[in-house]
Structure 1
Amino acid sequence: MKLTLMFNRTFVVLVLTSFMFGVLTSCGSSDAKTATADSSSTATSESIKLGFIPLTDCASLVMAQELGLFKKYGVKVELSKEASWANVRDKILTGELAGAHCLFGMPFSVFTGIGGKAGSVMKIAMILNNNGQAITLSNKFCDLVGNNETAKVKSAVDQLNAQKQLQFAMTFPGGTHDIWLRYWLAATGVDAKKVGIKTIPPPQMVANMKVDNMDGFCVGEPWNGVAVKEGIGFTHIASQDIWKNHPEKALVVNEAFAGAKKDDLKKVMKAVIEASIWLDSLSNRKKAAEILSQTKYVNAPAEVIEARLMGTNNTGCKFGDKKYEDYMKFFNNGLTNAPRKSYGIWFMSQYVRFGLLSTPPSDYKSIADKIIMSDLYKEVAGEMKLSVADDDMQPFTVTIDKAVFDPNHVDSYLAVAKK
């Protein structure tokens, strides 16, 4: 992947130096040190409210707060723990939230009328992470299909479905987890119309499987790991096995806030990017897991969060540990955070492929142009002297079925994919 800019060594030195002098804070500590304030700005008096769902990949927002990075860049941020993605959607659209840790696919789902009122605009400022989601199956699959044994899925589903229609869950119609689930079903030869697919908020997945309300789910960590810890299911496939280094969560913002408070949004983005760099140092992930585990954030066992942040999945059942080199990435040497219009076009193509949209968008690219703030991200990255990938609108390959997607030729892709 070609990069247009190289890292500025001075910036890296400044970041590392700030960490050496006690950037990391302890939750609730009255004398905890914070990052040195940005001399070019002081914190605004007006608080910026950012939402998050209790998932491991809210980490860059949480750590930007805990490390004092929002304050460093001159913004006062309030983090708000939300109950569901629908709640996040509604609060962003009304302006109750300036922005949030959000499913990358959500703005496209909402705009096209799948997950909200058609035409409603939510802006994507940057991508927050790649990888780190999974599909968990209940233990009734244990002797039928193992970890990443995709060739056995159809026969297992057919066998169990003959007894009672299987129920699968995802977190938001047209969101990332919905599409990973549907894509996996299609790649394994399962007709999605023959199983149930329901919407459940992420923190409620484990409890619903425990009482047999579902037979499998697709969700972000740590809830796949928690299902294993509680002995109710096993990790069948990680999302990076479906599409390596896929876009997952994004910083999604209210349209009016993005227009009227551009400078504040840029400061928020800079803080989140610096937190992302910190998170991609594996030596920091134990501390991140401890902070994320707290009740006010994810409220899950620190050891489960840490293990999967480090790329070690105890997959459960009888399948043991699986080590991933393509674990959850928050920065990935500058490759993660740039929001690609091609990714949005891919999501919309899947809506058409899987029948979520009966009529294809008349112009995929114009919708992506409306939602993706790529110019703003480039502006922020340029000011931080960071590299920016120039791969947008280029073809890419999805891992599980080796399908090549060209965002410039969606109709040709769909003619093959829908067969």
Structure 2
Amino acid sequence: MVFGSATQTARRWNNLNCDRGELSDLELACIICGGTHSTMDHWEFMQTMPKDPLDMVDDLVKMGVYKQNQLRAAEGVNAHELRKALFLKRVGRGDPRRERLILGLCQQAGGLDNALAAAFGPQAGLFFNDSIRNSGATRREFMRNMAVGAALVTLAGCGGGGGSEPAAEDDTEPVDTSNLEKTDLQIGFIPITCASPIIMSEPLGFYEKHGLNATVVKMPSWGAVRDSAIAGELDAYHMLAPMPIAMTLGLGSASFGVKLASIENINGQAITVANRHKGNINGPADFRGFTFGVPFPYSMHNLLLRYYLATGGIDPDVDVQIRPVPPPDSIAQMVAGDIDAYLMPDPFNQRAVYEEVGFIHMITKELWPGHPCCAFAASDEWIDANPNTFRALNKAIVEATGYASDPANRVEIAEAISERAFLNQPTEVVEAVLTGNFDDGNGNTLSVPDRIDFDPYPWQSFANWISSQLVRWDLQGDGMAAQVIPEQGYDEVGQGIFLTDLARELAQELGQEPPEEIYRTEELMFDTFDPADPAGYVQQQIDEYGV
């Protein structure tokens, strides 16, 4: 050891954590950790740390930086759980700078290496990284490396508090899971940016915070999501906003009760056109004869596309072909010439630009600012069997949606959800979508911060507009929507499926400020929707455009 006792280590720790007022006017904040000490002091401090990991752990335990009970607790967790427990809870402590570091450490092994190396040099990452990469490590090696990794990251917060005391034991109250019917959950999702709150809640710890051991499961298509829901194969789902209405009413499938618990995203879609049509598309009338892809018949994508085309005199059922295409297949089908354009969720619009396959004709925010797209949903049967778990799960997602709504968190989220297990997309593509700083494929660089946005509140006016368009377009071709929805009543359908009051209650518990109203007038590109008169709105559209 370079120094002989934990007392000397503590003295160095205290000296390093000097108050900002004690810095000279010429001294800058540490460029390694951002702390209130010079970079040279940080470097010199780290040079005095023990070179043997076990010695380091022993000293840190003696100092009180790392507790014996924490080492014992680590024996009961795996690497994934420990990353979240030690980094998100132990070190974040509400400091945005720390949280950015910790969330970076919870990425793939390369991210861990980079973050640790940035703080402490190349050797630091080695101790932690082999514990998550090498499943063949002995138990002693595994525990040593995990403990040292956690201790090193704890030290990374050396400049955050300004006081002389090292970080104390985690004082976060454990979540009481005694009333939860089940805690091990599987949640289906489609790999699109609309699902950001559902996806990010796993790697960023929102599920765990609410006492849930939830795993997100990638699904191949919306048809598979619907069928899996009916079969009871997963616990809850990422669904398109119209799906719970369609499924509950038996449109497109046997009737199966589903509740829309909260909205995942607003905006966030686009009409993308193959590059072979560049220069020929200026408005909806120019799409005559096209073959379009949409992710699912009962989707906002299909309804918004039909809304737009009709304003140009295009009958969506006669003058063009609209067919379901799983979002991950959309670019390949465009390249093959099977489709000319699509209205899809991102990142596949931006990915088409990235691959120089297509250009963005219009983002859907232009068609309807603040329109809903995707949602968190669960079946009536599952909710009835697991009411407390459902509430905790919905609350976790409402909180994650609120977190995603802050533009300051978007780069971080892009990094978290881009990896192979989730979106499997280039981070720069996902970041372009989430930040709204993007190229449109026509030579323009645009800045639209709310290209996609996140708001969990399920307005009942959303439900009424969706129902009005299901009636207008008769997607089954048997007139069932036109019969069932008016018969039951637009408000009754919406309020029976969209859990607006629960979403408000959970948001308020989380300190968010949801609206008190459940209806609002919706301003679209070509008209205004009064949720009190959906039938009149449909008739007005038919009278004006002929379809």
Aligned residue number for residue 326 of structure 2: 201
Aligned residue number for residue 350 of structure 1: 469
Task: Give, as a single letter, the amino acid of the residue that structure 1 aligns with 2:322.
Answer: I
Q: Percent identity?
A: 28
- 2:189 alignment partner, one of 41, 45, 52: 52
- 2:174 alignment partner, one of 39, 53, 56: 39
Aligned residue number for residue 6 of structure 1: none
- 2:345 alignment partner, one of 220, 225, 229: 220
- 1:142 alignment partner, one of 278, 283, 286: 278
CA distance in 2, matches of 1:115, 1:177: 16
CA distance in 2, matches of 1:348, 1:277: 27
Aligned residues: 384
> How big is each residue's C-alpha offset from its partner over 1:160-196, in whole Å with a ceiling of 9 and x where there is no partner?
x3xxxx2111011121111121111112332212111
CA contact (8 A) 2:294 2:301 kept: yes
CA distance in 2, matches of 1:325, 1:284: 12
- Please give the secondary structure, in 1, of the residue aligned with 2:453: coil
- Please give the secondary structure, in 2, of the residue aligned with 1:204: helix
CA distance in 2, matches of 1:36, 1:339: 34
- 2:391 alignment partner, one of 254, 266, 269: 266
Aligned residue number for residue 70 of structure 1: 207
CA distance in 1, matches of 2:404, 2:519: 28
TM-score normalised by length of structure 2:
0.66
Aligned residue number for residue 9 of structure 1: none
**Where in structure 1 do 4 or more consecutive aligned residues deviate above 4 Å?**
18-21, 28-38, 42-45
> How big is each residue's C-alpha offset from its partner over 1:7-33, in whole Å with a ceiling of 9 and x where there is no partner?
xxxxxxxx9816555462523455588
- 1:253 alignment partner, one of 373, 378, 381: 378
The question of 1:408 aligning with 2:532 is answered yes
CA distance in 2, matches of 1:37, 1:90: 40
Aligned residue number for residue 284 of structure 1: 409
Aligned residue number for residue 94 of structure 2: 17
Aligned residue number for residue 133 of structure 1: 269
Q: 1:13-412 residue pairs with structure 2 within 5 A?
A: 17=94, 21-22=98-99, 24=103, 25-28=105-108, 30=132, 38-42=173-177, 46-117=183-254, 119-145=255-281, 149-150=282-283, 153-154=284-285, 156-158=286-288, 161=289, 166-192=290-316, 193-316=318-441, 318-330=442-454, 336-356=455-475, 358=479, 359-360=482-483, 361=485, 362=487, 363-398=489-524, 400-401=525-526, 403-412=527-536
Aligned residue number for residue 12 of structure 1: none
Higher relative contact order (CA 8 A, sep 6+): 1
How far 1:95 sits from its partner (Å)? 2.0
- Please give the secondary structure, in 1, of the residue aligned with 2:266: coil
Task: Give, as a single letter, the amino acid of the residue that structure 2 aligns with 1:77.
Answer: A
CA distance in 2, matches of 1:112, 1:261: 23
- Please give the secondary structure, in 2, of the residue aligned with 1:241: coil
- Please give the secondary structure, in 1, of the residue aligned with 2:528: strand
CA distance in 1, matches of 2:523, 2:325: 29
Task: Give, as a single letter, the amino acid of the residue that structure 2 aligns with 1:324.
Answer: V
Specify whether residues 410 and 404 from structure 1 end up closer, same or farther in structure 2 by C-alpha distance, changes over 3 A only: same
Aligned residue number for residue 7 of structure 1: none
How far 1:381 sits from its partner (Å)? 2.2
Q: Which runs of 5+ in 1 are unaligned?
A: 1-14, 331-335
Q: CA RMSD in A?
A: 2.3
> How big is each residue's C-alpha offset from its partner over 1:102-149, in whole Å with a ceiling of 9 and x where there is no partner?
1111112223343322x321110001111111011112321112xxx4
CA distance in 1, matches of 2:247, 2:309: 23
Specify whether residues 321 and 21 from structure 1 end up closer, same or farther in structure 2 by C-alpha distance, changes over 3 A only: closer
The structure richer in helix per residue is: 2
Specify whether residues 384 and 293 from structure 1 end up closer, same or farther in structure 2 by C-alpha distance, changes over 3 A only: closer
How far 1:42 sits from its partner (Å)? 4.2
Task: Give, as a single letter, the amino acid of the residue that structure 1 aligns with 2:420.
Answer: T
Specify whether residues 370 and 220 from structure 1 end up closer, same or farther in structure 2 by C-alpha distance, changes over 3 A only: same
CA distance in 2, matches of 1:196, 1:250: 27
Q: Which runs of 5+ in 2 are unaligned?
A: 1-91, 110-131, 133-145, 154-169
